[in-house]
Amino acid sequence: GLLADGIIRDTLLQAGPQVALVDNSYVLMALVGAAVAVAIRLEGRVWDRAFPPIDALALGVWAVVGAQKTLGVGLGPIAAIILGLATAVGGGFVRDMVVRRVPTILGGSTPYATCALAAAGVAVLFTVLGLTTIGSFAGTAVGAGFCLLARYRDWVLPAGIGWKPPRPSFRRILPRRRKSA
């Protein structure tokens, strides 16, 4: 899932090759990050305090980058907000699916998608007003701030309620046969 978010965004934009596949530095940084995560035990009190701000900042940055890249290829504000959201949460979604877990953004976790939506929305608003640089910082701050607030206030999305689609009834589809007299 380390590169999936950008690859998903770039595939949907269809504006040239996926940056992560063209620029080797993306793959190398992902491999370095994975090696660090394997080699160093990232747990304990220090990690528990350091991770939330790092995670929140990354979410805000990715939402802003995705939104601004979408605007940069000529798509509109709504598409930019949607792809900003997808860029911010796509990697985690793919990661959870690969390890056969219900994606955390679908419930029972901090409202990452809502935070990413807010970050992308702010970035798009400022960019449309011609204030792209301010929008980058403001969108990142809003997304990260909202994410941290949600984490520290223990705001979570409701978990799924186990809804299942109704089973089709062939009696409604097929006409009744009449008994012959």
Which of 113, 55, 168, 132 has its CA nearest to residue 104? 113
Q: What is the pLDDT of residue 52?
A: 84
In-domain check, residue 69? yes
Which of 150, 146, 99 has its CA nearest to residue 119? 146
Which of 69, 55, 58 has its CA nearest to residue 124? 69
Average pLDDT for runs of 10 along the chain of length 181: 71 76 81 81 78 87 92 93 90 77 73 92 96 96 95 80 63 61 57
In-domain check, residue 171? no
In-domain check, residue 169? no
- Per the structure, the count of domains in the chain is 1
Structural domain of 17: 4-157
In-domain check, residue 179? no
Taking the C-alpha atoms of residue 163 and residue 107, their distance in angstroms, rounded to an integer, is 13
In-domain check, residue 174? no
In-domain check, residue 175? no
In-domain check, residue 166? no
User: Which pTM does this prediction carry?
Assistant: 0.74
In-domain check, residue 165? no
Q: What is the pLDDT of residue 44?
A: 78
Q: What is the pLDDT of residue 123?
A: 97
